[in-house]
Amino acid sequence: MNTNLPTEGVLAALCLPVGNDGQLLEPALEAHLSWLRSKGIHGVLALGSTGEFPLMSVDERKEALDTVLKLAGDLPVIANISDINPKNVEALGRHAKAIGLPGVAVMPPSFYPVNAQEQLSFFLRVASAVELPVMLYNFPELTGNRIAPETVAAFAAAAPMFGIKQSGGEFAYHRELVAIGEAKGFSVYSGADTRLPEAFGLGVKAAIGGLVNFVPEYMVAIFEHCRKGKACDVDLYAARMKEVGAIIDRLSFPVNVGMGMLARGFEPGSSRTNVSAAFREEMNRSSEELRRLFEKWNLSVERPVSV
């Protein structure tokens, strides 16, 4: 188990394959994590949006964290403990600490409007309860509540904040968050998988993305070029990331991440949400298109899988 917080690098917003009964497919998850390690990623975010956490009970999420930690080897694991119920957030955070995770991520409460003052109060309550370093997680398209810069700065001044993940459509917000992070001593993690060179150019230190699940090679190479000065054809890799993203976006998030998993030959499992027969047909068609692209680009396909 790695207890170091990955404050820079490329982290997978981990896809969690489950069977039709909702149980984790451990052999599939183990194979996927082993492969991700071999590609040089720097850690995983467990139970993030890609992991379909809102569709899981607290006990299921605790069990999933235990399993991911067991299988992750030397990859650091950050637990997303977000929930609409603050008591559940605290319970998940205490579990993360009990099993030895180095840090947690937390979104604002979702569904109901939460103003800046109440957001700050909530984040401080969580930090006090879990006694672990905290990464704020801004994804207003999903939560309905944007974390304002004043809230970020106030929380960083009062609690052990190691970063913020910026996801969603407000790409320009990276710049303001980077400025606050430089002043307050935390990292900004981008969820803009198809715009990483731009994000790193703004001073972002790390990426956490769903596309890491199936094109980690390009994302790690872009990071190493932009942040470490290692030579690569960054323009080519960035263009290929956009091409992949355009195909993935034909279907809705987060089930579409499974399409990329299929294309690389990994078992995505069943979604916890409803998936129509038409969706599955399109998923198989588009994953086959991706598979042909990957073969053209000399990205190995581990084994053929279909849903």
Per-residue pLDDT of the chain (307 residues; tens, 9 = 90+): 667 899 999 999 999 999 988 899 999 999 999 999 999 999 999 999 898 898 899 999 999 999 999 999 999 999 999 999 999 999 999 999 999 999 999 999 988 889 999 999 999 999 999 999 999 999 999 999 999 999 999 999 999 999 999 999 999 999 999 999 999 999 999 999 999 999 999 999 999 999 999 999 999 999 999 999 999 999 999 999 999 999 999 988 888 999 999 999 999 988 888 888 888 888 889 999 999 999 999 998 865 444 4
Measured between alpha carbons, how far is 299 from 281 in angstroms, rounded to an integer?
24
Cα-to-chain-centroid distance, residue 235:
24
User: How many Cβ atoms are within 10 Å of 145's Cβ, its own excluded?
Assistant: 22
Query: What's the pLDDT at 304?
Result: 45
Let me know: does 275 contact 268? Beta carbons within 8 Å: no
In single-letter form, the type of residue at position 255 comes to V
Reported pTM: 0.94
